[in-house]
Amino acid sequence: MADMHSPTAAAPSVIRRADYRAPDWLIPDIALDFDLDPALTRVHATLSVTRNGDHERPLRLDGDGLIPLEVKVDGRILDQQQWHLDAGALIIPLSGDAHSVETLVELAPESNSKLMGLYASGGLLCTQCEAEGFRRITFFSDRPDILSRYSVRLAADKARFPILLANGDPIEQGDLDGGRHWALWNDPFPKPCYLFALVAGDLACNADRFVTMSGREVALGIWVKENDLPRTAHAMEALKNSMAWDERVYGREYDLDVFNIVAVADFNFGAMENKGLNIFNSRYILADPETATDIDYDGVEGVVAHEYFHNWSGNRVTCRDWFQLSLKEGFTVFRDQNFSADMGSHAVKRIEDVRILRAAQFQEDSGPLAHPIRPESYMEISNFYTSTIYNKGAEVIRMMALMLGAERFRAGTDLYFDRHDGQAATCEDFVAAMEEGGGIDLGQFRLWYEQAGTPHVRALLTHDPLTQSVELTLEQTIPPTPGQPVKQPMAIPLRTALFDPATGGHRGDELLMLTEAQQRFTFTDFASTPILSINRGFSAPVIVETNRSQADLAFLSARDDDPFARYEAMQQLMVNVLVGRIAGQQVDESAVVAAIRAMLTDPTLDPAFVAETIRLPSEAYLGDQMPVVDPDAIHAARDALQARIGAELEPLWRDVHAKTKANAFAISPAAKGARKLHNAALHYLVAAGAPDGPAIAFTQFGEADNMTERQAALGTLANGDSAEREAALDIFYNRYCADALTLDKWFQTQAFALHPDVADQVEALGRHKDFTLTNPNRVRALYGAFAGNQWGFHHESGKGYRLVADCIIALDKLNPQTAARLVPPLGRWKRFDQGRAAMMRAELQRILAEPGLSKDVTEQASKSLE
Ligand code: ZN
């Protein structure tokens, strides 16, 4: 049913992986001279260019919105006939094989609302170049396989911009007339231009040092606004831990004399790994107990590590082209996940990571925007910084690490880093290094790079009492995805154990490789039917269906020695009950209640693990289990089960809530675990409808000495209607309205609320005086959160769709990249009833009809209609 929509602008052109060609010209050196000013910045660039190969093609330097004020070749000014512009790019025919090319352009950073290129944020000047922002700063060959040595001179007003930072090492600085000053930075490592960065501003520094394994001293600096300095300690700790971890686990050492991080308030995503000068969204740097939750603390640790790890997986070895993005992102996410696990709990970290994968990536992989971790084509590369590239990419690396084992995996990464240091590499290079260094054949495994879609695995266990053998039949199917109607069977590593219900034990964990569409595995010497524990540790990013009974799942939820499998059994137990209830069937909920009781009363368990495991699956995850998502039925069923669990175990919840109350704040794993369980107990208590529930939540809100408990109490209250709800929201607002990051939580908590009027509330909040489209964090806090609130966003009136579409249309004019991120929730229309689907499509069509729509939103909205 291909129906018509008529985007007004010509369809953006498609870039294909197969079309890759080596660059015509190389640029071994670049010198940049910035005369900085928010209203008018002048950029003078000197490029050494050399012809690459035998060809007659002119030099083509990408540009986006730039007008050359002057073009010189080998020191001589070219007249206007000797160059021209083509789609923003500067074209210069050159006769020799090596030339010096100079350009001069002017920029207006303070009116750069896209936050790509050079822009102003809270009085600072800063840059973001990945993926294609450098062409908004100067004419250059803006592709990651052009590696250049950078020398950067910055000049600015000394009073407004006392600190001048760029990549690499500081060389020299001095004063100029008229209250201005300058600084010269040099980066000895050739790098692609997406890693270029500068920052100018009035910044204070948390300064520290790190001595590398070879004994070199590195000066570390975290630069923030003066009054934010007390909130940088956790980030600094994380940085030093990351540096030590990469030496210990991967043998990789830092390579410059300085490592700087700057926090900025307006940023399109999390952070950026610019060589020697990481630039961060302030939400991933600033943390203190008063304003940051434990999730925020973990976010800081994880993102600081992620960007630091990029120094090897991304910078020293970079990407040949943007189709290889997962080469650096998937690998680096894998590295930061393992780092965070080592800093805290492996079990809890794995559960959290899988929850994120299922919530974001599985949804993407089953919708109109599904793509392989190495895509074949794109219109706008910014749209491919996806959960598939990052999180599924990390899972693919994790499977290789699992199949190889720690030592051989390390041999593979050693070979990869050594062989490709200083190069722009491909995903294939990585896989080849794993094969050679690790000694494994990854032929079929490469399909993980080619095929999109989440594989489904059916696992059927049968027992033959006569032969005392067990047969496990595994069947895989990979659903069709855009452009890939038919799939080949993949290589799927499944960690498996068979439990003997009599002894409660098993004979060992086996790695089964499922490589065929259907495969049988036989196990002998089983007098009775064992219980199947499969995809332990979530060894493969697949959906597993089994024929296990509720009793089997209850057994595993109590006895499985793999913590992830134990969590998974509990989740499945809950899903089965909820899906049954949603379908209007009679279901026995007592097993769920009993399993939760058992968890809560087992003193040997880590409270953080308990808190994760007793949580009901999200409404969105339940939606994923249904052929047609019914948001109202899902909400009602989940709410009812929650109330029942709350009511039946009420004394226990009260007890747990009291026992997990801390005396003083600490950021240790134990203290974080206690808070998680404390909040879970509060949540169930309030869900139970206990008359004093809101009062208990309000007390927790008022007395907590940390944001984790305060925000959880607010969130719990926000789901209902009570005097306490309104009072707490007012108090929160008045206390934090001057602190943008914390005020984001006020918007976000209301947008996430499971409240029948949430759409109206979001609409009102969109008109609140503190709401602004110019700050991406604020937009995500309100509209991003709301679009992830299944019950509210999919309100049968269609109001939720309209709100989000209005936001996309308005934001697209300012910041297309951030606007495009809000499109995918509207694209999931195939999963909903006809009424909702029609309204979602109508909004996508309304967006596409907007004149002057960006390439970013055009790509996402048009693909979403297909
Ligand atoms: Zn990254």
Whether 782 contacts 751, CB under 8 Å? yes
Give yes or no for a contact between 676 and 351, defined as CB atoms under 8 angstroms apart.
no
pLDDT band at 5 (very low <50, low <70, confident <90, very high): very low
pLDDT band at 485 (very low <50, low <70, confident <90, very high): very high
Q: Are 476 and 457 in contact (CB under 8 A)?
A: yes
Residues 44 and 188 in one domain: yes
What per-residue confidence (pLDDT) applies to 11? 72
Q: How far apart are CA 424 and CA 333, in angstroms?
A: 19
* 584 inside domain: no
Model pLDDT, residue 662: 84
CA neighbor of 339 nearest in space, from 284, 365, 301: 301
Peptide bond into 781 cis (omega under 30): no
CA of 331 to the centre of ligand 1 (A): 9
pLDDT digits (tens, 9 = 90+) for 255-301: 999 999 999 999 999 999 999 999 999 999 999 999 999 999 999 99
* Same domain for 405 and 329: yes
Dist. CA 271 → ligand 1 center (Å): 8
Question: Any residues with CB less than 8 A from the CB of 794 and at least 6 apart, and which?
Answer: 629, 631, 800, 832, 836
Looking at 155, 174, 202, the residue that finishes a domain is 202
Q: Is there a catalytic annotation at residue 380? A: no
Q: Measured in whole angstroms, how far is the alpha carbon of residue 94 from the centre of its chain?
A: 43
Q: Is residue 91 part of a domain?
A: yes
Residues in the chain: 866
Output phi, psi for 650, to 5 deg: -50, -45
Spatial separation of the C-alpha atoms in residues 709 and 732, rounded to whole Å: 13
Both tokens assigned to 416? 């990869």
Instruction: Provide φ and ψ at 43, rounded to 5°.
Output: -120, 115
**pLDDT tens digits, one per residue of 104-135:** 999 999 999 999 999 999 999 999 999 999 99
Measured at the alpha carbon of residue 838, what is the angle toward residues 835 and 844, in degrees to the nearest 5? Answer: 145
- 677: number of CA atoms within 13 Å, CB side? 29
Does residue 63 sit in the same domain as residue 150?
A: yes
pLDDT tens column, 209-259 = 999 999 999 999 999 999 999 999 999 999 999 999 999 999 999 999 999
Residue whose entry in the numeric block shows the structure tokens 């500068």: 198
Pull the structure tokens for residue 532: 């199947």
User: Quick one: tokens of 79?
Assistant: 């007249």
Closest CA to 119 of 130, 108, 104: 108
Rg (alpha carbons) of the chain, rounded to whole number? 28
pLDDT band at 3 (very low <50, low <70, confident <90, very high): very low
| 483 and 426 in a common domain | no
Residue 48 lies in a domain: yes
Sign of the Cα pseudo-torsion (679, 680, 681, 683, in order): positive
> H helices then E strands: how many in the chain?
30, 31
- Identify whether residues 148 and 48 lie together within a single domain: yes
CATH number, domain at 475?
2.60.40.1840
Are 328 and 468 contained in the same domain?
Answer: no
Strand 456-464 versus strand 469-477 pairing type = antiparallel
Write the CA distances from 133 to 114, 116, 118, 381, integer angstroms: 10, 5, 8, 11
| Whether residues 435 and 465 fall in one domain | no
Q: Of these residues, 130, 273, 301, 307, which one is catalytic?
A: 307
Helix, strand or coil, per DSSP, at residue 90:
strand
Q: β-strands 204-211, 148-157: how paired?
A: unpaired
Question: Does residue 540 sit within a domain?
Answer: yes
Sheet holding 84-86, edge to edge: 59-61, 89-92, 84-86
Distance 332 CA to ligand 1 centre (A): 6
DSSP per position, 758-819: HHHHHHHHTTSTT--SS-HHHHIIIIIHHHT-HHHHT-TTSHHHHHHHHHHHHHHTT-HHHH
| 187 and 110 assigned to the same domain | yes
C-alpha closest to that of 843 among 784, 801, 795, 788 = 801
Give the number of other CB atoms < 10 A from CB of residue 439. 11
Two structure tokens written together for 859: 């790509």
Residue 92: give its domain's CATH number. Answer: 2.60.40.1730
Structure tokens at 442: 């990854």
Q: State the pLDDT at residue 1.
A: 35
Contact 345, 606 (CB under 8 A): yes
Cα–Cα dist 596/330, whole Å = 35
Q: Do 148 and 92 share a domain, yes or no?
A: yes
Number of domains in the chain: 4
Which strand (E) or helix (H) includes residue 456? strand 456-464
Token digits for 190? 């050739």
Q: Mind listing the pLDDT tens digit for each residue in 538-595?
A: 999 999 999 999 999 999 999 999 999 999 999 999 999 999 999 999 999 999 999 9
For residue 329, how far is its CA from the centre of ligand 1 (angstroms)? 5
Residues 64 and 170 in one domain: yes
Mean pLDDT within 727-731: 98
pLDDT in tens, 780-816: 999 999 999 999 999 999 999 999 999 999 999 999 9
Q: Which residues pair with residue 499 across a beta bridge?
A: 506, 531
Q: Do 512 and 409 belong together in one domain?
A: no
Task: Look at residues 522, 547, 572 and tell me which one is the last residue of a structural domain.
Answer: 547
- The full DSSP string for 171-235 is EEEEE-GGGEEEEEEEEEEEE-GGG--EEEE--EEEEEEEE-TTS-EEEEEEEE-GGGGGG-HHH
pLDDT of residue 10: 61
538: left (phi over 0), alpha (psi -120 to 50) or beta: left
364-399 confidence digits (pLDDT tens): 999 999 999 999 999 999 999 999 999 999 999 999
361: left (phi over 0), alpha (psi -120 to 50) or beta: alpha
Number of Cβ atoms within 10 Å of the Cβ of 378: 19
DSSP assignment string, 354-388: HHHIIIIIHHHHTSTT---SS-SEES-GGGG--HI
Pair 444, 468 in one domain: no
- DSSP annotation of 134: G
Q: Is residue 712 part of a domain?
A: yes
User: Residue 696: which domain range?
Assistant: 649-730
Q: Partners of 543 in the beta sheet?
A: 456
Compute, in angstroms, the gap from residue 337 CA to the centroid of ligand 1: 12
Which candidate, 748, 592, 793, places its Cα nearest to that of 684? Answer: 592
Strands (E) in 59-203, as ranges, are 59-61, 70-73, 76-77, 84-86, 89-92, 98-107, 117-121, 124-128, 148-157, 163-166, 169-175, 180-191, 198-201
Strand partners for 493:
513
Tell me the two tokens of residue 819: 């606007």
118 alpha carbon – ligand 1 mean position (Å)? 20
Q: Find the 303 Cα to ligand 1 centroid distance in Å.
A: 8
| Cβ contact 754:785 at 8 Å | no
Average pLDDT, the chain: 97
185 and 108 in contact (C-beta within 8 Å)? no
Contact call for residues 74 and 192 (beta carbons, < 8 A): no
**Contact indicator for 823, 860 with CB cutoff of 8 Å:** yes
Would you say 382 and 820 are in contact if contact means Cβ atoms under 8 Å apart?
yes
The mean pLDDT value for 724-741 works out to 98
Cα distances from 842 to residues 522, 632, 764, 781, 807, in angstroms, run 53, 21, 23, 25, 15
4 pLDDT band (50/70/90 cuts)?
A: very low
Q: Is 560 inside any structural domain?
A: no
For residues 826-851, give the mean pLDDT. 98
Residue 310 C-alpha to ligand 1 middle, in angstroms? 7
Has residue 111 been placed in a domain? Answer: yes
Collapsing DSSP states into helix, strand and coil, what is residue 588?
coil
**Which residues does 289 contact at the CB level (< 8 Å), separation at least 6?**
665, 667, 705, 706, 707
Question: Of 450, 477, 496, which marks where a domain is finished?
Answer: 450
Residue closest to 59 by CA, chosen among 97, 98, 24: 24
Residues 623, 649: contact at Cβ < 8 Å?
A: no
Q: What is the pLDDT averaged over residues 153-173?
A: 98
d(CA 703, CA 546): 46
Expressed in angstroms and rounded, the spacing between residue 173 Cα and the centre of ligand 1 is 32
Residue 310 lies in a domain: no
Question: What's the gap in Å between 128 CA and the centre of ligand 1?
Answer: 13
Mean pLDDT of 491-519: 97
Token pair of 289 as six digits? 């107990």
Residue 663: pLDDT over 90: no
Residues 6+ apart with CB under 8 A from 587: 576, 577, 580, 581
Token pair belonging to 455: 């594989």
Distance 277 CA to ligand 1 centre (A): 14
Task: Tell me the pLDDT band of 7, cut-offs 50, 70 and 90.
Answer: very low
